[in-house]
Amino acid sequence: MAKKPVQFRLNGDEKAAFVDDGQNLLDVLRRGVGDLTPKYGCGQGTCGTCTVLIDGEPRLSCLTLAETVDGHAVTTVAGLADGATLHPLQDAFMCHFAAQCGYCTPGMLIAAKALLDRNPRPTREDVVEAISGNICRCTGYEAIINAILDAANAASGSSYARG
Amino acid sequence: MPVRVETYAGLDEAAGALAANSAARFFAGGTLLMRAINEANPSFDTLIRATDPALKEIRLEGDAIVVGAACTMNEIMAHRELAFLAPVARGIGGPAVRSAATIGGNLFAWSPFGEMTTALLALGATIRFAGHGGQVAIDEFLSNRDRYRGQIVRSVSVPRISDPSAFRFLKVTRVKPKGAALISIAVRIGRPGSGETRIAFNNMNPVPTRALAAEQALQGGSLDEASVSRAASLATDGMNPPTDALASDWYRREVAPVHLKRVLLGRT
């Protein structure tokens, strides 16, 4: 079966890959261009650990047909930090010990970024809603919710916006 | 499983390609079909896509709102004229699912999914097909859904609801704030004395189904305690709920009348 060429912008860098018919974006990110930060969880759209941003919208990369990102911008958790400087959300996750096994963390961070990009002053209810598609089996969510709220409180609009 | 993907600019071309291949499925948001691919589901070998902008339009047409089949739950939530459907869309998956899941795809969702379709059934929507497929009432569509898999849904025509209290929706889940529905209920309240009240359940039959006996009990009457109790007692007539990991058929039969009564009395 013929492969299709796909070009997209990944965390600010131009990427090109040949994708198979029916191949999902997660597979292309992990095996095609070597970004191992989005994780494969359920493959059913239930756990959220493969969440990425496509043109700023949260999407499940395991359920995204790879060829549909041609010409679009993809952001993974690898694109959050500015060099050695962590993104405010990453700082807050560390401060609040919001990761244990860490498997859900990439999806949680991206879901949180999608929320704060749209709503820099979320309520607790907003945060719960924003991560409602992401499953964590370790922390019980409280530390994650507190970290996201703390990142929103600590980072006023301009400093948060650097992510 | 190798899958072939064919992309067409025009809906009519895509409709022709889909009609010509019984092992093809039309691909919209991907939340159901990519899942099937990830699970190596062998029931199809071709995905047909269309990039036609008609699939994305939302426009007013008389007393109805025409919603393109590829409009996502997020796009429905963001549209002012569709505010009455926002609670339904918001109840579907998390934000990342709602960025991809479409109104057209939801029409083919299997149990326990299909909340939007349940709402559309209560509202009395009309399904329009691409090519020469014409249009059908959603009642007819759902009673023969497999027959329509070879056609592309172009749009869904939804009656406008000006009075927000005339449409009610409840998704019953065990996991809050999100989780697959045990059942969901959508009700369009008819005008007192004249209008037809439509009640639709999801997960009480293999496809979303109207509770016709309960509807009959409410015709022409007001939503007082006695008439609502009478309707609730008839809620499960003709229903054959599934037993699955979420609930048994017995449990669904027990709770459906209780939740319907709460919805009709505005006590959710």
User: For residues A33 and A69, is the Cβ–Cβ distance under 8 A?
Assistant: no
CA neighbor of B181 nearest in space, from B200, B161, B155: B200
Query: Helix or strand or coil: residue A115?
Result: helix
User: A-chain residues within 8 Å CB-CB of B3?
Assistant: 21-22
Q: Sorting pLDDT into bands at 50, 70 and 90, what band is B53? A: very high
Phi-psi group of B147: left, alpha or beta (phi > 0 → left; psi -120 to 50 → alpha; rest → beta)? alpha
Averaged pLDDT, B151-167:
94
Q: Pick B193 or B112 by higher pLDDT.
A: B112
pLDDT in tens, B11-38: 999 999 999 999 999 999 999 999 999 9
Residue B50 distance to chain A (closest CA, Å): 11
pLDDT in tens, A111-135: 999 999 999 999 999 999 999 999 9
Q: What is the pLDDT of residue B268?
A: 83
Query: Helix or strand or coil: residue A84?
Result: coil
Q: What is the pLDDT of residue B262?
A: 97
In this predicted complex, what is the ipTM?
A: 0.93
Structure-block tokens of residue B119: 């709402």
Cα four-point dihedral sign A133, A134, A137, A143: negative
Burial class from Cβ neighbours inside 10 Å (0-12, 13-18, 19+) for residue B157 reads buried
Of B1, B30, B74, the CB nearest to A63: B30
Q: Which of A30-34, B130-134, B261-265 has the lowest mean pLDDT?
A: B130-134
Q: What is the pLDDT of residue B220?
A: 74
Separation CA B8–CA A80 (nearest Å)? 36
Residue B109 gets which letter from DSSP? P
* Percent of the residues in chain A that have a pLDDT greater than 90, as a whole number: 90
Question: CA Rg, chain A, in Å?
Answer: 16
Q: What is the pLDDT of residue A39?
A: 97
Q: What is the pLDDT of residue B194?
A: 66
User: B-chain residues within 8 Å CB-CB of A57?
Assistant: 74, 99
Q: Sorting pLDDT into bands at 50, 70 and 90, what band is B70? A: very high
B153-159 vs B126-129, strand pairing mode: antiparallel
pTM: 0.94
Query: Helix or strand or coil: residue A112?
Result: helix
Mean model confidence pLDDT for chain B? 94
Nearest CA in chain A to B74: A57
AA letter at B11:
L
Residue B71 distance to chain A (closest CA, Å): 15
Q: What is the pLDDT of residue B176?
A: 84
Q: Sorting pLDDT into bands at 50, 70 and 90, what band is B221? A: confident
Q: What is the pLDDT of residue A159?
A: 46
Question: Would the pLDDT of A3 be above 70?
Answer: yes
Question: Would the pLDDT of B127 be above 50?
Answer: yes
Q: What is the pLDDT of residue A160?
A: 47
Q: What is the pLDDT of residue A155?
A: 67
What ranges in chain B are assigned the alpha helix state H?
Answer: 11-19, 33-38, 73-78, 86-90, 95-98, 103-106, 115-123, 138-143, 212-218, 225-233, 249-265
Q: Pick A61 or B2 by higher pLDDT.
A: A61
Averaged pLDDT, A100-111:
96
Q: Sorting pLDDT into bands at 50, 70 and 90, what band is B162? A: confident
* Phi, psi (deg, nearest 5) at residue A16: -135, 140
Question: Would the pLDDT of B114 be above 50?
Answer: yes
Separation CA B171–CA B150 (nearest Å)? 30
CB contact under 8 A, B94 and A24: no
Of A20, A48, A68, the CB nearest to B94: A48
Of B30, B74, B94, the CB nearest to A64: B30
